[in-house]
Structure 1
Amino acid sequence: MPDERVEASGRDAHHGMSAHEVVLLLETDPQRGLSAAEARRRLGRYGRNLLPAAGGGGWLRRAVRQFHHPLIYVLIAAALITAVLREYVDSLVIAGVVLINAVIGYVQESRAEAALDSLRSMVRTEARVVRDAQERRISSDQLVPGDLVVLEAGDKVPVDLRLVRLAELRVDESALTGESVPVAKDETELPEVTPVADRRNMVYSGTLVTAGSGTGITVATGAETELGQIHRLVGAAEQLATPLTRKLARVSKVLTVVILVLAGLTFGVGVLRGQDPVDTFTAVIALAVGAIPEGLPAAVTITLAIGVTRMARRRAVIRRLPAIETLGSTTVICSDKTGTLTENQMTVRAIWTPEAEFTVTGSGYRPEGEVRGSDGSAVTEASDEALRWSLLAGAACNDARLHEEDGTWALAGDPTEGAMLVVAGKGGLDPEAVRHAYPRRETITFSSERQYMATLHDERGSDANVVLVKGSVERVASMCRAQLGADGSSRPLDSEAALAAAHELAGRGLRVLATAVRPAGTGDGFDERTLPGSLTLTGLQAMLDPPRGAAASAVRACHTAGIDVKMITGDHAATATAIATQLAVLDGDHHRGRVLTGRDLDALPAERFPEAVERATVFARVSPEQKLRLIETLQQRGHVVAVTGDGVNDAPALRQADIGVAMARTGTEVAKEAADMVLTDDDFATIEAAVEEGRGVFDNLTKFIVWTLPTNLGEGLVVFVAILLGATLPLLPTQILWINMTTAVLLGLMLAFEPKEAGIMHRPPRDPARPLLTGALVVRILLVSALLLGGAWWLFQWEQSRGAGVAEARTAALNVFVVVETVYLFSCRSLSRSAWRVGLSSNRWILVGVVLQAVGQLAITYLPPMNAIFDTAPIDGDVWLRIFAVGIAAGAVVALDKRLRRRVL
């Protein structure tokens, strides 16, 4: 039954089979490919080679979901109530706030679908396929299991392939696996447990052929490919609420319950007291309007937007507003290695020659730095013949090119070859001059079987030629019979010393390549048979992708701030350990964390997995599924997790994380679409800056909430007490709306411009389980509410007892609320420090807001049109003295409370 056999192939470990077994399993021909008729039949059965479209439930359902929130319910009720009161302007303002929040939420949900669209676009390309023994070009979406696909340098791999023939094939799999250099491929059968990053006999959809050519049998298409598996993970990853939205949802639910209970209780009390039901209902409306924090959604949006603007100046682009706050609550940062903690530019750090060792300064592809001897002094190629020939071999036996673009040095070619070009220049050899002095005649290209590259060069000024070789230490050393001394003399090879030096350098996480030469006149012929035994070892060059300059200090700053930094990479454990140690992600004695590989994770029992993940700080050679599981485990343990990444393999984790951070320069479009924030400089130090900014945003939002809630609660209590006592309302609904809307905009929103407090990165992150409002802050809110209630009620009664009319008394009560709010605003600039210690000049917008609010209060108090609209009346100067006395007394009480509770906050 051919269908069953082909269907089974999607679940088989094709890398663990011989090419012949794969051919039999898929019932194809490794020379002729499928027939056109069979290809059509399989296309009809298995579908096109496309990733499935996301099912978002439609735009209407997504739009309706944006209104499913308790605070939105309260705001809608506020809009309806103000409309009933014929305060149409206020009703439209509140409705506009609801609409803006709905639009923001709609855009956020659309982001996930955009990420999946980017993934689908990665597999749309042209492919060369052999069918009926004829090579032809077809759209990649027409490929089916069993198709024979031909690859060449520059091709994007369209499906998952088991290689059956190849020639020097190298594939860039960094976007899929995180491997920092192109992978050399071969046809060797591998154990079934081999992870994706080490499957040399397979190539996967979405990767890029950088060199050579090959032919492979299609073993998976569409959703069955490795890329398809990532697509499923991205689609399945839960879009988590941020710490802010979770806490605001909790506050909103409490407010909703309080408002409904208080409104119902107020109406019931009024009716039981025999008051007119219509008048009582009007009072209930006033209570509800007063208790609703209309300015809260706008304040949240504007505060976050200001944080976004500040972050843009610090080289981070926020794609989703709450992301900036989420970073401030982060407890764990799971960072990719390549390009984030490192520069993504291979750099030679050490050179070993048979008689000396050298260190190399500078990093990246910029030709700045020196080769230094053991005494620390700069040396050049002229001072040591072995060093000269090692540098020359690295520069001439090389196919890479470096070029400068807008002040940035870029590489065309293999990163290791780029590193050898740069170090040659640091040692005094101009690569272009070397190519001119030693023009190349022939090349033996690198392959995974040979493990070396060799080039034959003419030597200008003579009739002789020279052979230059670079490759793996073991392979090159086995081909050498001698080693070169510093004076240029040839001596018997000490292979044990060379291998020991290579082992020591590799132990530091360095990638080590050996260089060798066959000097002019020491051998004939240039092929794989004549080279072994004719070469002279010149040295070893050890390189790595160096850490970014500011990354180490940024990691230390995160540790100081109580944030755990974990490295998750697809690279090898030795390389990851070396970089992590240099950056203090992992200390030298492994006191901070430990290193786990993908195989270690698979071997862990389920009950030990969470604790192991908590303790470890470096995860090497992990798959996308494992990375996603790591993130989910940390979240289940109560952490707020930030994840960085740039490849397709990072997309599921970026989507699952509380905040996903993608790289702008090296990141794939898939990663950027799945992320909440994009770093324009690809630098981990920018994440540390974002954490600092996020903490400032969270502080400012908390300050606004602590400032605004006493007003709402105080207004509700004033109305409730009036109903309870059967007294005249001290505030009318329109007056309450004036207080809420003007003070929220002119006073409260100025807290969004508050600068970050000193020492913000020396305190631990907020406990995710900690409520938005701590017990001490709740007490302060109740205290200020009581002060507002007492001050407004006292002055309202006092003015009436002195013969003032109801309008004048209400105007006095209205101004009491505004003045107390203004005094309390200065206290809220810091929740722990004294208002005097904060100072006035650090946030001049506060002063602007106070002046504008004062103008507004004078207008509503003394302008006849405003008096007519809001039922206010002019008041005398002695009334203002009493109003300010209430404000000063309230400020003194809050200052005393802050001093007594400073240690609690």
Structure 2
Amino acid sequence: MTLQKSVCPNYRTLSPSTAFAVGEADENEWRDTVQLHSEKKTLLRYYVFEGMRYIWIARKGAFCKASILNEGRTCADLHGRKQGLSKADQSTRSQIFGANIIDVPVKTYLQLLFEEVLNPFYIFQVFSIILWMSDRYYYYAACILIISLISIGVSLYEIRKVCRYYLHVQVFRDECVSSEELVPGDCIVIPAEGLLLPCDAALLAGECMVNESMLTGESIPEMKMPLSVSEAAYSPESQRRHTLFCGTQLIQAKGGGSAGNGAIAVVTCTGFFTAKGDLISSILYPQPLDFRFYKDAMKFLLFLGLVALVGTIYSIVILSKSNTTWQELVIRSLDIVTIIVPPALPAAITTATIYAQNRLKRHGVFCISPPRINICGKTSLFCFDKTGTLTEEGLDIWGVMVVSGAVFSELVPDPLIFPPGLMLSALASCHSLALLGGQALGDPLELKMIESTGWVMAGFSQVLAVMRPPASELLSQGNSVSQPVAIIRRFPFSSSLQRMSVVTVGPGGASPVAFLKGAPEMVASFCRRENMPSHFSPILREYTSQGFRVLGFAYKHLTKETDLSTVERSKDMNFLGLLVMKNQVKPESAEVIRTLKLAQLRPVMVTGDNILTAVNVAHACGMVLSHEKVIFVHASPPTASSMASLQFHQGDGAVNGAGYHLAINGMSFAALCDHFPEYLPKILMRGTVYARMTPEQKTQLVKALQKLNYRVGMCGDGANDCGALRAADVGVSLSEAEASVASPFTSKSNNISCVPLLIKEGRCSLVTSFSLFKYMALYSLIQFASVLILYTEKTNLGDLQFLFFDLVLVTVLAIVMGRGGPSDELHPQRPAASLLSLPVLSSLLLHTVLSIQLLFYNSVTVFRYVPLNSTVTGAANLPNMEDTSIFALSGFQYIIMSIVITKGYPYKKPLYYNWLGAGHHSEQCPEARSSSQCKSGERSPSEIMFLSPVTFHTCCAGFERVLYLFEKHPTS
């Protein structure tokens, strides 16, 4: 790339009307350099890395992401783009930001073939094939060549299947353009019938119902509201309910375009800078997993490389003494390298993961990151969302309490018999539901709330929605408050704000009324003090401590001149009352939590609900037992009159209980992180309930737990958990979607029963990967020793013998070992994750020493052994006892190793449960067909194999187990 001055730093200061002409690139310039000029030619330099464009910013003196030019925009700036871009501005921005495309460049088959062949694995395969051909191993080399070509062909086909998705959209340039031509700043019309969104955009006018399950795992459609006009900085995360994300399915739009059809939005990000582009980039170019098993595997391969070097030197010394030609000496020495470093090792390790992934799929659990299955086996702590995860998605209305004269009325159990008034209007209208095909869609809580009132939702093009009271009430009540109300403005619920509000009007030109709904403490903070009941806190505590979910309501009369954009921040509202709902714990939750605790896996609840409600649910599902006490942590930031404080208050529970749990809410958690960081690790070690947590705090909590060396799992069901699901080592999204890029795992079941299954499969896969790694390593070392012994005897294994071992015997055994399913129960002890630990290395050493000793004993010290006569000339690899006996003995060693090394209890079912490995096969040793080499009265090498090796190999495996237990419990 060229490193000259660039016009990029000035781009942000240019007005949309500034004219730029795009010139042709000079022939002497780089192909990725675009010339932009107004009066004089200037250059734009950029490069593309992992799909993202980086441009040269002279002010920073560095290449920065092109998206930096969109930073610092306010909500008012975006509303100023309603007129759209001119053709010249669009062309200029297109040169800077590039096309709105998210795909992998589709290369020609020749380019792909060249890149595949340059893969280190295939380079090693090509080297091995040439070597084997030179050594006249034609059958074996031909089989490996065919397998490699098929593998390359499949890889090329899969890559070439990638295609681009594009559609035509209407922009405010009085034209319809391809979505590939969209640039940040374009103002687009969202059609009423919806579409698959091709970019990230901020909604300026109208409402949109969007299915974001592909990105967030949230199966409930989200209602998007228009962005308010303010000087606040725009951020897609903080203004999530006003942002349309690329790749999500827009179901319907209304209220923004001409005659109320469709909606209007301004493009904020395109290409790989969109939310979908960022997630696809993380899939195409994933960060390396920080898992010890994979690191140790690479280190062990380096160790095998050193062993190969030693073997090569030994073979050179041995073969040079046999008057071997230098060509054969080189070939045979290099052949050692292809034996000791098994190219099939990576594939063998992934066998267990593939089988685990298929088993999970049969149980409705889908995985988009297979390497994380092994990490599931090391999970030590699991976080759970509450609503919809531990408890039922829907809630049952328990009753309504209305405030009159700053005093709560008695609890009215059924809103249908509730007298007409503002509280009834608030229950019927303060929601974010949308009408689709005559049916209301949205949050199950809000659907239940509307259903309890008996009011009916109707759609009109001029307003967002109209709520009608039951026909019977209209007939019996003459009061105007029981007449229909129209929703003219919505401020959707935000987890970080813990509230939502709407503006409604009645018929006949009545003045607007604003309604506020949310967490009772948050609603109370927006109300006038003289209107609040004096016993508000005791009443709230009474219901939340019993596990009820409580919502607060408030209202305010507005004038027709009121700026509706300021309603959300209004502080002088009137408190209306409380809606009390019963949220039942799912029947599967208690059993799963009990199973996890018995397996020494720590469960933690992370919710946005009230802390007392969360503690009650923790008791109900077994996270906190009846004899254990809960201590509430209260942290507060410093004020003008006081210092930051940290206090602990004991809640209800057994005073003399041996165990205790900490409970903390989001405000205290933020103060704890900012002002008492030294206490944070200690509180996290005992924290069980985290309530009133925002989505950002959930993510922060997961990362803080990971810093304490926990392998953290997270299970949730909504967009509020999206950040935590991605940050966790194991993220499980409960969603009806088959897969969601918000988390590595997606379960179609609506309960947490998938969590123990996932951990069992993870442990099974991890243990099986260990076994396969050890087996492939031992297989290489045994074959390495076999060949060196035969080199010493001036012979070698034949072509078909290598072929039988590598492609028949070892491959079948590896498949059988990998098919083993998980144990039916979760054991308290987690499997090891280090390949370079004392138990594993000692086991490998003992097995290797035993195998080599048997091979050597069989070939050299067998009774009546007569070495080959080296003075007699003959064909290479002529039939001989040494070759046959080594072939038979090593073959039985491969079989017995697969049985001894395969782990069973407590992580896997025994090998005989595997139907592929349950059959009985009779093996006849090749040497038995030759009476000259298996004489009567002698023990054949096959018989020698069964004298003691089975017992000794089993003892080696038992010794490894003892060492592992000693490492875990050195004092026991």
If the length of structure 1 is used for normalisation, what is the TM-score?
Answer: 0.67
- What is the match of residue 843 of structure 1? 914
CA contact (8 A) 1:148 1:217 kept: yes
- Contact 1:237–1:655 (8 Å) recurs in 2: no
679, 686, 705: which one aligns with 2:747: 679
2:816 to 725, 744, 750: 750
Aligned partner of 1:257 in structure 2 is 306
Which amino acid is 2:472 matched to?
A
- Which residue of structure 2 aligns with residue 365 of structure 1? none
Report how far residue 250 of structure 1 moved: 3.0
CA distance in 1, matches of 2:610, 2:193: 29
* Structure 2 residue corresponding to 1:240, chosen from 260, 284, 288: 288
**Is 1:794 the equivalent of 2:823?**
no
**What is the CA–CA distance in structure 2 between the aligned matches of 1:2 and 1:798, rounded to whole Å?**
84
Please state if 1:87 is matched with 2:137: yes
AA of the residue aligned to 2:579: Q
> Which digits, 9 at most, give the CA deviation of each residue in 1:747-799, with x for residues without a partner?
343222333347554223644xx22x532232222322232222233233455
**Cα deviation digits, residues 361-397 of structure 1 (max 9, x gap):** xxxxxxxxxxxx99xxxx9859986799989995799
Name the residue aligned to 2:359. Answer: 310
Residue 472 (structure 2) pairs with residue 437 (structure 1):
yes
Q: Which amino acid aligns with 1:442?
A: P
Q: In proportion to residue count, which structure has more helix?
A: 1
Q: 1:665 aligns with which of 736, 740, 743?
A: 736
How far off its partner does 1:78 sit? 4.2
Determine if the alignment matches structure 1 residue 897 to structure 2 residue 923: no
The CA distance in 1 between the partners of 2:331 and 2:87, in whole Å, is: 79
**SS in structure 1 opposite 2:736?**
coil
Shift in Å, 1:262:
0.9
Find the residue that maps to 1:883 and give its secondary structure: helix
For residues 735 and 874 of structure 1, the distance between their equivalents in structure 2, rounded to whole angstroms, comes to 18
The CA deviation at 1:267 is 1.1
Q: Give the superposition deviation at 1:226.
A: 6.6
Residue among 847, 852, 860 paired with 1:784: 847
Checking the alignment, whether the CA contact within 8 Å between 1:50 and 1:141 is kept in structure 2 is yes
SS of corresponding position for 1:902: helix
Shift of 1:693: 0.7
Amino acid at match of 1:253: L
Match of residue 689 from structure 1: 757
Paired AA for residue 472 in structure 1: K
Aligned equivalent of 1:774: 837
- Which whole-Å CA distance do the structure 2 matches of 1:677 and 1:551 have between them? 19
The residue type equivalent to 2:963 in the other structure is V
Deviates further, 578-587 or 748-757: 578-587
CA shift in 2, pair 1:456/1:79, >3 Å:
same
What are the superposed Cα offsets for residues 323-361 of structure 1, whole Å, 9 maximum, x if unpaired?
A: 433433456667777866676x45246424469xxxxxx
Report if the CA contact (8 A) 2:382-2:602 is conserved: yes
Mark the CA change 1:613 to 1:647 in structure 2 (over 3 Å): closer, same or farther.
Answer: farther
* C-alpha distance in structure 2 between counterparts of 1:606 and 1:499, whole Å: 27
Contact 2:100/2:181 (8 A) holds in 1:
no
Q: Could you say if the C-alpha distance between residues 79 and 538 of structure 1 is closer, same or farther in structure 2, counting changes exceeding 3 Å?
A: same
Structure-1 separation of matches of 2:939 and 2:211: 75
- Cα distance in 2 for partners of 1:309, 1:235 equals 20
1:541 aligns with 2:541: no
* Cα pair 1:561 1:763 within 8 Å, conserved: yes
- From 283, 295, 300, the counterpart of 2:349: 300
Change (3 A) 1:265 1:453: same
Change (3 A) 1:614 1:99: farther
* Cα pair 2:340 2:784 within 8 Å, conserved: yes
Q: Closer, same or farther in 2 for the Cα pair 1:223/1:901, shift >3 Å?
A: closer
Q: In the aligned structure 1, how far is the partner of 2:730 from the partner of 2:432?
A: 40
Distance 1:823 1:413, change over 3 A: closer
Output the amino acid matched with 1:816: L
- Structure 2 gaps of 5+ residues are 1-9, 17-66, 258-262, 404-409, 455-466, 475-481, 492-499, 508-512, 563-573, 625-629, 634-660, 869-878, 965-972
Separation in 1, partners of 2:416, 2:485: 29
Higher deviation after alignment, 387-396 or 5-14: 387-396
In structure 1, what residue type is equivalent to 2:13? E
Give the letter aligned to residue 714 of structure 1: I
Sort the Cα spacing of 1:847 and 1:389 in 2 relative to 1 into closer, same or farther, 3 A.
same
Identify the residue that residue 228 of structure 2 maps to in structure 1.
Answer: 187
Matched ranges for 1:525-604 at <5 A = 540-543=578-581, 549-551=587-589, 553-554=591-592, 557=595, 589=632, 591=661, 600=670
1:706: how far off? 2.7
Equivalent position amino acid for 2:299 in 1: R
8 Å CA contact retained: 2:315, 2:333: yes
Report the alpha carbon displacement of residue 675 of structure 1 after superposing the two structures with TM.
5.9
SS at structure 1 position matched to 2:753: helix
CA distance in 1, matches of 2:746, 2:333: 48
Q: Between Structure 1 and Structure 2, how many residues are aligned? A: 800
Aligned partner (choices 259, 264, 271) of residue 320 of structure 2: 271
Give the C-alpha shift of residue 876 in structure 1. Answer: 4.8
Work out whether residues 400 and 578 of structure 2, in 8 Å CA contact, stay in contact via their aligned partners in 1.
yes
5 Å matches for 1:174-213?
Answer: 182=223, 187=228, 189=230, 192=233, 198-199=238-239, 203-206=243-246, 213=256
2:886 to 808, 813, 822: 813
Q: 1:532 aligns to what?
A: none
Deviation at 1:846, TM superposition (A): 2.5
Q: Distance in 1 between matches of 2:762 and 2:713?
A: 12
Unaligned 5+ runs, structure 1: 356-372, 405-409, 426-431, 458-467, 481-492, 517-525, 529-535
| Alignment counterpart, residue 788 of structure 2, candidates 704, 716, 720 | 720
Query: What is the SS of the residue equivalent to 2:777?
Result: helix
Structure 2 Cα separation of the partners of residues 755 and 472 of structure 1: 50
Root mean square deviation of aligned Cα = 6.5
User: Compared with structure 1, are the counterparts of its residues 575 and 476 closer, same or farther at alpha carbon in structure 2 (3 Å cutoff)?
Assistant: closer
What residue number does 1:220 align with? 268
Distance 1:108 1:327 in 2: 28
Aligned-partner residue type, residue 796 of structure 1: S
Which residue identity is paired with 1:896? C
Q: Deviations over 1:56-77 (max 9, x none)?
A: 9988777666667776665554
Query: For 1:790 and 1:811, how far apart are their aligned partners in 2?
Result: 17
Matches within 5 A, 1:48-197: 50=100, 75-95=125-145, 98=148, 126-127=169-170, 129=172, 182=223, 187=228, 189=230, 192=233
Secondary structure of residue in 2 paired with 1:790? helix
CA distance in 2 between partners of 1:710 and 1:268 (Å):
24
Question: Residue 542 and residue 708 in structure 1: after superposition, are their counterparts in 2 closer, same or farther (change >3 A)?
Answer: same
Q: Report the CA distance between 1:719 and its aligned residue.
A: 3.8
Cα distance in 1 for residues equivalent to 2:141 and 2:297: 23
Name which of 699, 722, 727 aligns with 2:767: 699
SS at match of 1:703: helix
Q: CA deviation at 1:316?
A: 1.8
Which of 798, 801, 805 is matched with 1:735 structurally? 801
Structure with greater contact order relative to length (CA < 8 Å, sep ≥ 6): 1
Q: What is the aligned counterpart of 2:551 among 512, 528, 538?
A: 512
Question: Matched residues in 2 for 1:195 and 1:545: separation?
Answer: 33
